[in-house]
A and B are shown apart, each in its own frame.
Chain A
Amino acid sequence: MNPDARAALRPWRARSAVMVATAWCALAVGGAVHGTPQETIATAARKVVKIHGAGGVRGLEAYQTGILVSAQGHILTVMSTVLDADEIDCVLDDGRRYRGTVVGVDPSRELALLQIDGEELPAFALEATEPVAVGTRVLALSNLFGVAIGDERVSAQHGVVAALVPLDARRGAYEVPYRGNVYLLDCTTSNPGAPGGALVDFSGRLVGLLGKELRAAETGVWLNYAVPTGELAASYAAIRSGTAAMAAPVPAAQTAGFDPATLGVVLVPDLLDRTPPFIETILPDSPAARAGLRPDDLVIAVGGMTVASRAAVQRALATIAAGDPVRLSVVRSGAIFECDLGPRPEPRRNR
């Protein structure tokens, strides 16, 4: 950071320091302007729904969170595999249990709208409001780790809006379609089950919706972020009018594959329908060479998942996020060897 920039930031930092000090004390004194934080949480939590659906295998949780956005039981949540279930179980704050149906999805923002058969339910107002200022203190309410069951209240975390920036993220090796603004938060909201949770300010007003678990495209850091209420309102309107799906871009596409040569592995040419994934060459001074891989080794698993063809090896490697460890299992002279190749290198980005 150059000295000018640092000087420009100084007043902001001073202010935020005072702001944070003030905020902590407000919490201790019990919030003068609005209700207490405890009351704000209790009121907002009545509009938050614990959603149980498909999953529970291969690291995919079978639960997430949603927010009530109409008194008639419309629930906004994130689009995910949890909703790929015949029965989507929606549990309200008081333990009432409803079956939810998917009204529609907004693939561009990866949001989904459910409905339950309820009446006069407490709901958040979805208004296309101005974004809240950076530094605003917020509360995140979510079904993180699925710890709240039945009539147990969702979890509450506190934090500060740290930035309002365009989202540039990926899930595994897949880039996410939404590139609009999100609030970055200084608290860890990126937890299993938390997506679809409510972000509210200390008066209980909806600020945003906790997004899916994503990592920053550039750094691989897990992002704690929320989609602003304005985007939610637009999404809600689009889904209800039936235009959301049409406006969708091409579904999140795989990045242009991943070349195993980056790891130093050159596989035999892919000539058959299911070419056996033999290693043709190992590049010198490469992770593969250091891991002890040799030509003529037959790759049978990537990261513990079996691969039956050369194409499958390619696909499996492409789903490993950059920075995550790569482990290949190979057969050599009738014995199986496991080789750790270290972290997967950055993909070649073509943007």
Chain B
Amino acid sequence: MPRFAPPAVPSCGRPHCSFALAAVLAAGAWPAAAEEVSPAVLAAEQRRIETIRRASETAVAIFAGEAGGGSGVLVSPDGYALTNFHVVQPAGIAMQCGLADGRLYDAVLVGLDPTGDVALVKLLGRDDFPWAELADSDEVQVGDFCFAAGNPFLLATDLKPSISAGIVSGVRRYQFPAGTILEYTDCLQVDAAINPGNSGGGLFDAQGRVIGVNGRASFEKRGRVNVGVGYAISANQLRHFLGMLRGGRLVDHATLGATVATSADGLVVVSDILESSDAWKRGLRYDDEIVALAGRPVRTVNAFKNVLGTLPAGWRVPLIYRRGGRREEILVRLAGVHTAAELARIVAGQPRDQPDKQQRPAPGDGPPGRTPPGEPSAGDDRDRALPAAVKPLYEQRRGYANHHFNVVERDRVARLLAGEGQRAAAGGRWTFSGRLATGEAFRIELSDNEGSIDLPTGTTRVDATGELDANPSPPGSGGMLAALLVWRRLLREGPAAVGRTGYWGTAPLDPAAWRDGPNPPLGDVLESAVAGVEAFVTIDGTGAVRHVELWTSPENDPCEIRFGPPADDLPRGVPTSLEVRHGNTLFGIFRIERASVSDRADTLETPRDGVRADGDRGPPGGGG
């Protein structure tokens, strides 16, 4: 022991170690030592080296000029990269990003999530970028190996990322926001070194998948360097917001419209609730005990905030509560934390509350006075004209980080809707008939001029050429005919031609899927403002519409129509059933037995353009 005693203080300064290693290698001691190691271990080490090499290729070094910079991680071959809001905020719309291949790429801002401290950018110039897969971060365990690839202290002047390895120290951590933004909920805690400049970079698991995006660290009296405590936004939270970010939106996080507190006997109970909130309308009241939210059990206030913080505003999630021993389950639509104006102010960088001193983000803030390579030290970025490569990819619009990408996503969904499956339903007059769950017959007719429904209680008609908000027919449905008419127009005319239709993002396809776990499958959502009504239309990966919600006024509950699966004996795109709800009541379940899409001029082969040329009315609001 004395012979090999290490120095009294672990002073393994780098020059020393490398000198010693070089000496050892020169003396041939290394191979001899290596032979003692089991082949399995050496093989594992080779795998690890390979994993880190692959992950390094996906690491993005972001330079924001004088304002500093940070890191990012590529998550798609066409160049979409995740990073932190606080990294790109100083950079503005256009930035330059370096990859480990040593090249600089132009990049454009796509979407922003200031509350969750996330941003999406798109690197330009290739469609074969190396990219990393998002893992299921709920599977991550404390003790798992992990590593960060990023640009700490903006060291990556050769654009190759620094790697810091460690273990997952904690999961489902909650880190308080700065004011109302930069809140880290349900985040991963790691002892891999997360330093200023690592912000926005990927946190990878042993397979090289992204389990999170590094964003902040606990700092205290040691100065702004890592103290073995870093935090990463979980991949599952990122996945919830990724659709909205791809849609160029300025997204918001969710609030229930109710606050919770720990009761004297340790339960999580509703301590305050807004009577205007959806939770109140669905039946939640003061002192109700919260049991579960969005498929996850809630036993502490922290757990409640953790679940809520991972959810986008606008989603509907199941909430289970207990009152007087009775367990109730409701679907609650989540409201936003901010108003649109507040978000716009935050993004513009106007004054806000100071971040908590002890738990502040590890921002994109390199050491002052350093100018990264390739970044002209220009004056005010906002005044500077956008680079030629970026200019056509940016469109300013209120409520969006970059509206250009909303059009991109809307058009993608339009192609999905117009796929083989949907074109068959392009005929002018759509007729569905069948039976209600009660056994009685119904018949629905939809055309450009009119929507009508025959029910046992009578027939109702809606003029399809006028405003749709005045007549939420049939009575009690909240606007079922209007919802079906908007659905039909979206299919026939395409989203771009129906009022103001934009890409909203992604949302769970089916509320029932929450019962299988906290990460239900997501579908694309279009939002349409047309003829005085607003509709959300959810579309699955096959292009099938799964869900339509229609508001005749913002104050009222929407009419919700859940579409059943298609069937071979029905025209394509026509569901086997329509489940219609309004507020807390089920209006009816319509089982479609026969359907026809017929019209004098329309044939199955008629292209949509042909249909419109044939005398169809243009949308009242014009294209969006």
Contact = CB atoms under 8 A, between A and B. Distances in A.
A157 B144 contact: no
B48 A222 contact: no
Contacts of A155: 169-170, 189, 191, 229
B44 interface: yes
Interface stretch (B20-28, B421-429, B439-447): B20-28
B141 interface: yes
Contacts of B473: none
Interface stretch (B3-11, B452-460, B609-617): B3-11
B6 A191 contact: no
B7 A163 contact: yes
A153 B143 CA distance: 12
Interface stretch (A21-29, A67-75, A260-268, A305-313): A21-29
A222 B4 contact: no
B399 interface: no
Contacts of B12: 186
A42 to B, nearest CB: 7
Contact of A158 (B17, B30, B166): B166
A338 B29 CA distance: 60
Interface in B353-393: 358-359
Query: Which size class do B's interface residues fall under?
Result: 35 or more
A29 B37 CA distance: 14
A95 B301 CA distance: 13
Interface string A1-35: 00000101111111111100110111111000000
A155 B220 CA distance: 17
B145 A153 contact: no
B24 A144 contact: no
Q: Which of B41, B42, B166 has the most CB atoms of chain A within a 10 A radius of its CB?
A: B41
Residue of A38, A192, A216 contacting most chain B CB atoms (<10 Å) = A38
B277 to A, nearest CB: 26
Interface residues of A, number: 60
Contacts of B222: 222
Contact of B143 (A95, A156, A187): A156
B506 interface: no
Nearest to A45: B142
Contacts of B271: none
B2 to A, nearest CB: 10
Contact of B228 (A6, A27, A152, A191): A191
B4 A156 contact: no
A189 to B, nearest CB: 7
Contact of B142 (A29, A153, A162, A192): A153
Contacts of B144: 38
B167 A157 contact: yes
A336 interface: no
Contacts of A13: 17, 20-21, 24
A188 B228 contact: yes
A184 to B, nearest CB: 6
B302 A152 contact: yes
Interface string A145-178: 1011111111111100011010000000000000
Given A29-B41, A149-B300, A191-B227, A157 B47 contact: no
Contacts of B29: 10-11, 14
A195 interface: no
A237 interface: no
Q: Which 9 A-B pairs have the closest CB atoms?
A: A162-B10, A188-B228, A38-B143, A25-B44, A37-B143, A12-B4, A157-B191, A150-B300, A13-B20
24 contacts: A8-B4, A15-B4, A21-B37, A24-B48, A28-B48, A38-B143, A40-B143, A95-B299, A95-B300, A97-B266, A139-B143, A145-B358, A149-B300, A152-B172, A153-B142, A154-B170, A156-B142, A156-B170, A163-B7, A165-B9, A187-B191, A188-B227, A191-B218, A222-B222
Interface of B: 3-10, 12, 17, 20-21, 23-24, 27, 29-30, 33-34, 36-37, 40-42, 44-45, 47-48, 141-145, 165-175, 189, 191, 206, 218, 220-222, 226-229, 266, 299-300, 302, 358-359
